[in-house]
Structure 1
């Protein structure tokens, strides 16, 4: 079975990496129409997450756009290593003000970026590489050769990847920050069970989410700026929003502010929020 799974991963990557841009867009739109009404577990969980943060049920149109975003993110991840510079640069939407925030931090104390599962974080990394910004991140060790495929693909996009659980990982990331690289960490879901519980701001009942401590600890250790970057799908383009500096104090206070910035992004574009797993504490 392991051999068959590895073969399947290889075939999916080989075929997905060669889908032309126009066909990818058609597959995302048509696939979303076909899938969004199905009683799939991931979609049910997204519905639940959506209701908790938005205070209402998602519409069918929002559910369809969510599936479209999910498909677009995955197909982009499969193919970005094969995109030309023009393919990437022409599809990025970012204001000069937000770009200046990135460059100011990188030219000064260094930069640690916390990201939620929104839009295409792989696209953000590929775009940064084209802008001369060296990106470093951490990836979960996945089975059936998936980790190696994701690592190779992201290296092809211009990023360096450390495996989660690597010995002395924080030391390596601190060295990256000090070398002027932008360290990007997905930070809205704690996979280690060693994170910190913080509130997710809502107008209704309080929500609690467990998040990793890495961004706060790394920024405190290196003196780097800590910012949140949110990516939002705008059709086949991706908008990047860069937050102001997050004040680094205690881990809990710092990550509370990080999650507040995540919540702002979700409120602005909930159909780009690809959280199809359980997120909130009971």
Structure 2
């Protein structure tokens, strides 16, 4: 039995905005708890992934952490469905930014910034905030099936003000990103902590071999723009900020330092080194906040199906 939050979105998008926030929050927490208890959906894989982040955890601790992780994941969806109706005041109150000096300096100078992002916290909330208060957001969305599901995701994220480029296999996606970087000064966050294509990059994540997407490093190298990492975690809101946010939860977005290519390195070597750098930053973050890493799919090579596993190849 599979729990597919993407398909659930089609139905939930029509229902959740009509419900009181306390009710929809309770429903999604229940869904998370049931999925964890019954081991449905990607909960088994989430648990295996979290075991790498907290190797010292007992079985009981790992079960509790998996439940917290699923609650965090379902909170992301419940909140995301309400985002189109959020006011600017609410967005400002829900998001707290750390380490943004490099990003703001580059954007102020009219230069785009490429951001390596993982499935952490509520990335759609961070994107909606950035569109309003930082810079135009240009990003990529995986072309999901069925088409109704994909179009639903596109419409949702575009309603938040983001420019969405569908992920295609013919190279047009990368060319569209290049044009976006050359025609303005957007911020380009790319979810890249999972990639099974021939262009994937082998990295060390949480002490194990994993495969991630080369996109952030490749785009930064091709355009000469800055590459930084952004981590996103939940935090409980209290007092005036909670009242202004209209929510019990907000997120902290922490930007890392600029990641430059090694001096004199060849292109593929530079992409590999830059990718390992942001992956290491993500790994350090996940060790501290494992419950906010929403990775319900295989990312470590040891978990991948050998029959489907393609050898990592050159970066196109």
Match of 1:86 among 75, 78, 89: 89
The alignment status of 1:67 with 2:60, answered yes or no, reads no
Q: Greater shift after overlay, 12-21 or 168-177?
A: 12-21
Cα deviation, residue 27, structure 1: 3.2
Is residue 159 of structure 2 the alignment partner of residue 160 of structure 1? no
For structure 1, list consecutive stretches of 5 or more residues without a partner in the other structure: 1-5
For residues 81-230 of structure 1, what are the structure 2 equivalents within 5 Å? 81-95=84-98, 98-108=99-109, 109-144=111-146, 145-165=148-168, 167-178=171-182, 179-202=184-207, 207-230=208-231
Q: 1:7 to 1:133 in 2, by over 3 A?
A: closer
Q: Work out whether residues 121 and 232 of structure 2, in 8 Å CA contact, stay in contact via their aligned partners in 1.
A: yes
Q: Secondary structure at the match of 2:51?
A: helix
8 A contact 1:17–1:75 mirrored in 2 = no
SS in structure 2 at match of 1:73:
helix
Distance in structure 1 (CA, Å) of the matches to 2:41 and 2:152: 26
Tell me how far apart the structure 2 counterparts of residues 72 and 7 of structure 1 sit (CA, whole Å): 16
Secondary structure of the 2:279 match is helix
8 Å Cα contact 1:17/1:80 also seen in 2:
no
Alignment partner, residue 238 of structure 1: 251
Distance 1:94 1:8 in 2: 30
Measure the CA separation in 2 of the matches of 1:278 and 1:82: 34
Once the two structures are TM-superposed, the CA of residue 14 in structure 1 deviates from its matched residue by 1.1
| Alignment partners' CA distance in 2, 1:152 and 1:111 | 24
Deviations, residues 214-253 of structure 1 (Å, cap 9, x unaligned): 1111101111110111111124211111111112241111
Partner of 1:3: none
Q: TM-score, normalised by structure 1?
A: 0.88
1:48-95 Cα shifts (integer Å, max 9, x gaps): 111123213443432221111111111222221221212222111223
Which residue pairs with 1:25 in the alignment? 25
Cα deviation, residue 167, structure 1:
5.0
SS of structure 2 residue aligned to 1:233: strand
Shift in alpha-carbon separation, 1:154–1:8, aligned structure 2, 3 A: closer
Structure 1 residue 132, shift from structure 2 partner: 4.2
Residue of structure 2 equivalent to 1:15: 15
